[in-house]
Amino acid sequence: MKRSSILDLSALRKRTRIFVLAPISLAVMAGCSGGGQNEQVAFVTSVDNCASSTKLSVIECQAAYEEAVKEAESTAPRYQYQRDCQAEFGNCENRGGFFVPFMAGYIVSNIVSDSMERKHRFTNSHPSYMYRGPGQFRNKIMTSDGFVVGSPGQSSYRVPRDALKPKPAVTRTISRGGFGATASAKSNWGSSRATSRSSSRGWGG
């Protein structure tokens, strides 16, 4: 057969697509598990807490902590004003002209030690914050991109695997619009048969 045998059509049906609206400062994605696979994670507040409350070793917990701190440097929620940061996360610090919340701890996955899995496993960790803003997420554990893990105090949490994937780094943009001008200069031309090159035709070929 010279054609694709089966195509997954569900992703291509556009009418049923669900969009999550993002608040200005933070995209809260609570409850949006998307039906993907879940993973079990623990929320820990220190390396010691990690070593005592999970089956990870101190060395693994230390590595996971360092990974979370490194990730937080690029992905922590950023605020221009301290008061905005404090309103949502309580304790915040100034980092390079931005205000970012202090890490409340980190979440680690692969906490269930199992001799079969142990050979292949790698520990996945992400910085976590305590949300202090008003509303239903107050005092809940949250990751950098606004994913709500849950209330503190549980020995483990089930979270969708997507929430554990790396997040893109955040920066401060100083200018926009430096791409696209060449296309708009060319678009003053119509093709020889269409009266104007607008609404639907693009720059592909």
Partner 1 sequence: MLRVPCDERKNWEAMAQEFGFKFHTMYGEKYWDESAYYQFSLAQIEQGIEAPTADIHQMCLAVVEQVVNSDELLTRFAIPKAQWAFVRKSWQDGDPSLYSRLDFAYNGEGFAKLYENNADTPTSIYETGFWQWMWLENKVDSKLLGRHADQFNSVQEKLVNRFKELHALNPQRYLHFACSKNTEEDRGTVQYLEDCAKAAGVQTKFVYIEDIGIDKDKQFADLDNNVITWMFKLYPWEFMFEDAYGALLGQQNIRWLEPPWKSILSNKALLPMLWKLFPDHPNLLPSFFEDELHLVPDDMLLVKKPIFSREGANISFTDARGNALDDKDNSDGPYGEEGFIYQQKYSLPVFDGNHTLIGSWLIDDQAAGISMREDNYAITQDMSRYLPHVIY
| Residue 105 and residue 88 in contact, taking contact as beta carbons nearer than 8 Å | no
Contact flag: residue 182 with partner 1 (CB under 8 A): yes
Please pick, from the candidates 116, 119, 135, 195, the single residue that binds partner 1 as defined by CB under 8 A. 195
The C-alpha atoms of residue 119 and residue 23 are separated, in whole angstroms, by: 42
Q: How near is the Cβ of 31 to partner 1 at its closest, in Å?
A: 20
* Interatomic CA distance for residues 33 and 44, integer angstroms: 22
Q: Which is nearer to partner 1, 115 or 192 (CB)?
A: 192
Q: Per rule CB under 8 A, is residue 183 in the interface with partner 1?
A: yes
Sheet holding 105-109, edge to edge: 148-150, 141-143, 125-130, 105-109, 38-44, 157-160
**80-85 contact pairs (CB < 8 A, 24+):** 84/25
Which run of H or of E encompasses 130? strand 125-130
- Span near partner 1 by CB under 8 A; candidates 7-15, 52-60, 84-92, 125-133: 7-15
Could you say which residues in the range 69-98 bind partner 1, by CB under 8 A?
Answer: 74, 78
Residue 13 near partner 1 by CB under 8 A = yes
The span of 117-125, 130-138, 151-159, 160-168 binding partner 1 (CB under 8 A) equals 160-168
How far apart CA 128 and CA 142 sit, in angstroms, is: 6
Binding site for partner 1 (CB under 8 A): 1-5, 7-9, 11-15, 74, 78, 162, 165-166, 168-183, 185-189, 191-195, 197-205
